[in-house]
Amino acid sequence: MGVLAGRTALVTGASRGIGRGIAERLGRDGARVAVHYGSNERAAKETVAAIEAAGGSAFAIGVELGRPGDSAALWEEFDRHADGLDILVSNAAIGNSRPIDEIAEDEYDRLFAVNVKAPFFLVKQGAARLRDGGRIINISSGLARNAVMPHNMAYAMTKGALDVFTRDLSKVLGPRGITVNSVAPGIIDTDNTAELLYGAPDGWDRAAAFSALGRVGETADVADVVAFLASDAGRWVTGGWVDVTGGSLV
């Protein structure tokens, strides 16, 4: 029996990248995983299939976040498959933004709608479904604490807002034994960072140089930390900001 056996997890943006790594890890640990996706149904079904092939249980939920009524639609779909939730991982996000002299208002608004508003209202509308003793884990970014990529300012701002949400929500839900934490990755090898890593001959080496450990992160590096916080071993950690940048902020 896995350490999360009998628990149900929802991971937003779980069809690929960091979200998929987290969903697969929680599935291996025994949780039944709701694999949320915005538009790539095929990728989400591949994530579900991978979890099931490893002996786990999962189902897909397709709702585009950042639209009016998105949270209500997601929970309506979730309720068709499960009767309660133990672990909520808010991972879905728009992963970059144009510089301040290029970004338009509609892009800015869309960024905040997906990265900040959606996680907020998922909790607001899903709190009754989240069982006492549950876990909320918000995927932040090292850029919320470091200006190494100032061109990505608006994106970094959304993650700073998410961190404030984490901090204050931990006080609101603490009386129910629910922990709330932010996990902040650095540069991780996903399709979202493909241009950075592979767009120039020295891209990989330059990215690896940010880390004190001298390498680019893998999705498992983030998923393992999330799995710890989701487990009983993480019961005394709440309101925290966990640096998973490989020492990029040292």
Q: What's the confidence (pLDDT) of residue 46?
A: 98
Q: What is the pLDDT of residue 1?
A: 66
Domain assignment present for residue 59? The answer is: yes
Q: According to the model, what pLDDT value does residue 119 have?
A: 98
107 in a domain, yes or no? yes
Does an H or E element contain 204, and which? Answer: helix 203-208
Check which CATH number belongs to the domain holding 132 and give it. 3.40.50.720
Is residue 2, in this structure, part of any structural domain at all? no
Contact 125, 71 (CB under 8 A): yes
Q: Is residue 227 part of a domain?
A: yes
Of 71, 97, 141, 248, catalytic: 141
Whether the model pTM is above 0.95: yes
Q: Which residue in the list 37, 155, 182, 231 is annotated as catalytic?
A: 155
Q: What is the pLDDT along the chain (250 residues), one digit of tens a residue?
A: 699 999 999 999 999 999 999 999 999 999 999 999 999 999 999 999 999 999 999 999 999 999 999 999 999 999 999 999 999 999 999 999 999 999 999 999 999 999 999 999 999 999 999 999 999 999 999 999 999 899 999 999 999 999 999 999 999 999 999 999 999 999 999 988 888 899 999 999 999 999 999 999 999 999 999 999 999 999 999 999 999 999 999 8
Q: How many domains does the chain have?
A: 1
- Tell me if residue 155 is catalytic: yes
Known catalytic residue at 37: no
Q: Tally Cβ neighbours within 10 Å of residue 36.
A: 28
Active-site position among 15, 71, 97, 140:
140
Exposure of 104 by Cβ count < 10 A (0-12 exposed, 13-18 middle, 19+ buried)? exposed
Is 139 within the bounds of a domain?
A: yes
Residue 210 forms part of a structural domain: no
Catalytic annotation present for 140 = yes
| Residue span of the structural domain in which 96 resides | 8-189+218-243
Q: Looking at the DSSP assignment, which residues form a beta bridge with residue 34?
A: 10, 59
On whether residue 48 sits in a domain, the answer given is yes
Any domain includes 131: yes
Catalytic site residue 141?
yes
Q: Find the catalytic residue in 159, 170, 211, 231.
A: 159
